[in-house]
Amino acid sequence: MDTNDEAEGRALFSYRTLDIAVALFFLVVCAIVVTDSLRLGIAWKPNEGPQPGLFPFYIVVAMGIASLVNLAQALPHTEDGAKTATTVPGIKRMAAIFVPAVVFVFATNYIGIYVSAAIYIGAFMVFFGKFPLWKAAAVSLGIAIVNFMMFEVWFLVPLPKGPLEAALGY
């Protein structure tokens, strides 16, 4: 372990471990989607077109092949695969990004995507970007308002809304 590794913290995962885990995860997802695509049908019917499972089936077959190639490349022990991919402090930094993103997704169901996005963007600007609160509020509210106008008013694409939008009549 060199000086930089000691400052960074204890090694948590190697690239090989993560490559294998991600490849296996995608293979499981591919198996689930292939099974459901077969249930929906993957044929092309004359005078009707493709059945609902056709497009997802071929996409996940390609993903599955790519995952198998990645898995085959990750299985042998190599010098590159043994390198540290992340450390304990590194995984904490990743969690600091991932956990708020998960909260944003769940909050969207209750307070709508526009309010959730404004809070999410504003919080990141204040806590990670160290911007003043007034700048974070201006940018996050501005982005939420522009997105609301673009999707709900101009393109007429309804996105998940919460009580605030309902109070405004949307």
Alpha-carbon distance of 30 to 18, in angstroms, equals 18
154 Cα distance to chain centroid: 27
State whether the Cα torsion 99-101-107-111 is positive or negative: positive
Alpha-carbon distance of 92 to 89, in angstroms, equals 5
Question: Each residue of 110-139: pLDDT tens digit?
Answer: 999 999 999 999 999 999 999 999 999 999
Cβ neighbours around 57 below 10 Å, total:
21
Q: Kind and range of the H or E element at 86?
A: strand 84-87
Q: What is the mean pLDDT of the chain?
A: 92
Higher per-residue confidence, 56 vs 10:
56
Q: Are 148 and 169 in contact (CB under 8 A)?
A: no
Q: Where does the pLDDT of residue 8 fall: very low under 50, low under 70, confident under 90, or very high at 90 and above? A: low
Structure tokens at 20: 């294998």
64: helix, strand or coil: helix
Q: Where does the pLDDT of residue 7 fall: very low under 50, low under 70, confident under 90, or very high at 90 and above? A: low
Q: What is the pLDDT of residue 3?
A: 46
Give the pTM. Answer: 0.65
Question: Each residue of 63-73: pLDDT tens digit?
Answer: 999 999 999 99
Over pLDDT 70: what percentage of the chain? 95
Question: Each residue of 42-95: pLDDT tens digit?
Answer: 998 888 889 899 999 999 999 999 999 999 999 988 887 788 888 888 889 999
